Structure 1
């Protein structure tokens, strides 16, 4: 610590300044600790305008799911639990699912390429072309191709290759969308919503704005059933 040198008057000014700074820090800490974290028993409101939707638009219950394509638990949710949720609630019109991006894993791992964001941009490029159906098909293909969390695998070249398997996608248009980062702003907007809501990881699932403690089909189903009552 650098200390000021000087006479008694200087020392007095230093002490007073230190005391004022300590009071301000204490007040700031009190304000932060006294504010409940978003999602802790609260209902969070999301802007879902223009987002990909599975299920009927007029379904009475809304699921909001934040995912990262590099997240192994997201892959498990999609492959192990989503089929049951889809058949029991989405296909029956009881609920709809809105998919939002929270691409944080590549940045957290300090990878040289932010392929979490690139994968999210690829899914959004499919959405721009073919709507929710194309978005869902692209999402599933990316999750099936998921590589190690600690490695860069969702490169633009690989994502273009995967898009070639998505029905209804114009490859040239998709390539241009991805190369020009045309959907980067949409992905950033999703991430802002995640951070503003206090999302701490993926997958994070909200049922009518309330964060669920787990992502398994039983927990999600119970929350939907409760919301329907």
Structure 2
């Protein structure tokens, strides 16, 4: 598993004058190599309204089990989970009304933040479909080379999912949204004690990443409980 930075969680943003900004010249992000900076101070965090961030949810609202996944779009273990156990959990538990599934992004780096902004660009209706495309293509776009090539790969995924170019650029340029997402992630990850990805919270209890058969045992035991 990929470990989060020890101590305070890292804010993934380009900081200028205390605020996150994302600027482009032509197609290239004008972002320095060092993206990970220390956590915002308490006053800065308090000034950001994270209630504007929409939870991405699948399944019945009144399902007996709530399963939260914390994942990074640049985490290979997360991509593996989405290619395997997630699909089976969705078919057997989410789509059948047994599990309410919540996906929360973790930001290790600028690329994961960009991916999140692309995935969220067309709203909740398309989020999970775009997430599937991003996870499936992770080995390609995340290793495309330069930052310009990586963000171009994410743009292609967004367009493939039906998001037009102007809308994608507006989403990627939204520095306020970027800062709010980072603060939102930090609040939840701190509250739930998340230290690696993928991590899971099942009805308030931490659960490790594991094979589908083991998830099934845990879910069935919770349903019987």
TM-score by length of 1: 0.66
Q: Kindly report which structure 2 residues correspond to 1:1-229, keeping only aligned pairs within 5 A, or say none.
A: 50-104=54-108, 106=109, 114-127=110-123, 131=124, 133-147=125-139, 155-167=150-162, 169-181=163-175, 183-184=177-178, 185-229=180-224
Contact (CA 8 Å) 2:119, 2:158: kept in 1 or not?
Answer: no
Residues in 2 aligned to 1:87 and 1:152: alpha-carbon distance in whole angstroms: 37
**Structure 1, unaligned runs of 5 or more:** 1-46, 107-113
CA shift, 1:202, in A, is: 0.5
Q: Deviations over 1:120-158 (max 9, x none)?
A: 22222232xxx2x30001111111221387866683332
**In the alignment, what sits opposite 1:38?**
none
Residues in 1 aligned to 2:161 and 2:60: alpha-carbon distance in whole angstroms: 22
Residue aligned with 1:62, SS: strand
Mark the structure with the bigger radius of gyration.
1
Residue aligned with 1:157, SS: helix
Question: CA-atom RMSD, angstroms?
Answer: 2.4
Residues in 1 aligned to 2:210 and 2:166: alpha-carbon distance in whole angstroms: 36
Residue aligned with 1:205, SS: strand
CA shift, 1:182, in A, is: 5.0
Residues in 2 aligned to 1:152 and 1:221: alpha-carbon distance in whole angstroms: 40
Alpha-carbon distance change, 63 to 186 in structure 1, aligned in 2, over 3 angstroms:
same
Q: Deviations over 1:46-100 (max 9, x none)?
A: x9x8301111222121110000011111011000111111111011100111000
Give the total of aligned pairs: 169
Residues in 1 aligned to 2:118 and 2:183: alpha-carbon distance in whole angstroms: 13
Residue aligned with 2:102, SS: strand
Larger helix proportion, structure 1 or 2?
A: 1
**Structure 2, unaligned runs of 5 or more:** 1-50
TM-score by length of 2: 0.67
Contact (CA 8 Å) 1:63, 1:98: kept in 2 or not?
Answer: yes
Alpha-carbon distance change, 152 to 91 in structure 1, aligned in 2, over 3 angstroms:
farther
Residues in 1 aligned to 2:156 and 2:208: alpha-carbon distance in whole angstroms: 36
Residues in 1 aligned to 2:146 and 2:184: alpha-carbon distance in whole angstroms: 23
Residue aligned with 2:133, SS: helix
